[in-house]
Amino acid sequence: MNKVIEDLRRASGQLLQDGKVHQVVGWRRGRFFWQGSPHFVSDAGAVEELTYPPCAGGNLAKYLVDFARGQQPDDRQEEDSRAVALWTRGCESRAVNRLIADGVVQRDEVYLLGYTCPGVVDSEKLVRWLDGDGLQIEDVNWAEDDERVLLVETADGQRRIPADEVLQERCLRCTHPVPVDCDQLVDGEGKQPAPEDARFEEVAELEQLQGEERYEFWSEHFDRCIRCNACRNVCPACNCVECIFDSELPQQPDWLGKASSLSEKSQFHLIRMIHVADRCIECGACEVVCPVNLPVRKLMIKATADIDRLFGPHQAGLQADETPPLQTYDLQDPDVSHEGRGN
């Protein structure tokens, strides 16, 4: 991965130097080993600040929404290029396709600096992996000699861990570690794509539950929600100019109250699920950012699985000119209201 990082830096510096972009969006290390921060560089001399930390959280494509809507702090001058370069993994490329399809982002205003994703490390898995040895983790880095190995620094010396053993669940089931679209691809070994039938594995057990049991399962989880909106804010499919949950202008109805009650919290999650169901690119960032460990990704997987079964195979964001299944009407669409409910 270290060579990939060097290549990405070099390419980033070149783009800035040539004035093809005015900013590069990538990553930097956080203060602690389990952190990785999105990072913005507009000076070619500062590309060394960019890296790919093993625990590189959410989905960088979401910042393109902020750039497009003047929400991103920006020192761009009139004569500078409007374009932004984005360090792009598979999930980010799919998110960009969705943003283009939704009319939020123009393809020529983003330069996709692609690389094969090595996966994102689940720091809790890492801790559990080493806990048997009672070791405290001080730092984690990609090994120089093997792209699929992590070097973990502990008080008791260095340990080598195969990355695939400690990747986040979302990454283990990722079908597209390689960007589906990019302007330049930096070669690397990266993570192997998961087979497509692995996508819905995690909800198989939930689907066996009876309606009431499922209701109880989700109610218990929704009740713990603190309504911080992190899942919505990190989600590239959540790109409405005016979100229904923020609608407080006098001319608009108060769709959902701000109260922290089970009914409002359940409605928040269910409305959001339905609204993004056919545009979810399965990046799982919603679950990664949740501060109280709600299994929000499972909710999305279930919606995606149902759409896939009802309307035929579908994976959002594979092309920029796609029309998501819930935004089209076809006479051949199954009529579940007559045939009985979908599962």
Q: How far is the CB of 153 from another protein (least distance, A)?
A: 14
Q: How far is the CB of 72 from another protein (least distance, A)?
A: 7
β-bridge pairing 84-88 and 110-115: parallel
**CA-to-CA distance for 27 and 40, rounded, in angstroms?**
8
Q: What are the beta bridge partners of residue 139? A: 153
Stretch that binds another protein, among 30-38, 153-161, 271-279, 334-342 (CB under 8 A): 30-38
Contact with another protein (CB under 8 A) among 2, 14, 72, 154: 72
| 60-70 b/e (C-beta count within 10 Å ≥ 16 → b) | bbbbbbebbee
Stretch that binds another protein, among 31-39, 99-107, 112-120, 307-315 (CB under 8 A): 31-39
Provide DSSP, 251-288.
TS---S-----HHHHHHHHHHHHHHHGGG-----HHHH
Contact with another protein (CB under 8 A) among 8, 234, 301, 303: 234
Stretch that binds another protein, among 12-20, 58-66, 78-86, 146-154 (CB under 8 A): 58-66
Q: Using the Cα atoms of residue 102, residue 103, residue 108 and residue 110 in order, give the sign of their dihedral.
A: negative
Query: Would you give the binding string for another protein spanning residues 267-306, x where CB under 8 A is met?
Result: ---------------------xx-xxx-------------
Contact with another protein (CB under 8 A) among 2, 7, 38, 266: 38
Stretch that binds another protein, among 104-112, 178-186, 189-197, 259-267 (CB under 8 A): 259-267
Query: Would you give the binding string for another protein spanning residues 80-99, x where CB under 8 A is met?
Result: --------------------
Residue with smaller CB distance to another protein, 124 or 213 = 124
For position 192 contacting another protein by CB under 8 A, the verdict is no
Q: Using the Cα atoms of residue 252, residue 255, residue 260 and residue 265 in order, give the sign of their dihedral.
A: negative
**CA-to-CA distance for 190 and 166, rounded, in angstroms?**
14
β-bridge pairing 157-162 and 36-41: unpaired
For position 262 contacting another protein by CB under 8 A, the verdict is no
Q: Which residue has the tokens 């990664």?
A: 288
Residue with smaller CB distance to another protein, 260 or 328 = 260
| Four-point Cα dihedral 126, 130, 131, 134, nearest 10 | -140
**CA-to-CA distance for 17 and 22, rounded, in angstroms?**
9
**CA-to-CA distance for 300 and 218, rounded, in angstroms?**
13
Q: Which residue has the tokens 């809507």?
A: 69
Interaction residues for another protein, span 91-150 (CB under 8 A): 124
Contact with another protein (CB under 8 A) among 227, 244, 267, 318: 227
For position 3 contacting another protein by CB under 8 A, the verdict is no
Residue with smaller CB distance to another protein, 53 or 324 = 53
For position 226 contacting another protein by CB under 8 A, the verdict is yes
**CA-to-CA distance for 315 and 324, rounded, in angstroms?**
9
Footprint of another protein (CB under 8 A): 30-32, 35-40, 57-58, 62-63, 66, 70-75, 124, 224, 226-230, 232-234, 246, 248-250, 257-261, 288-289, 291-293
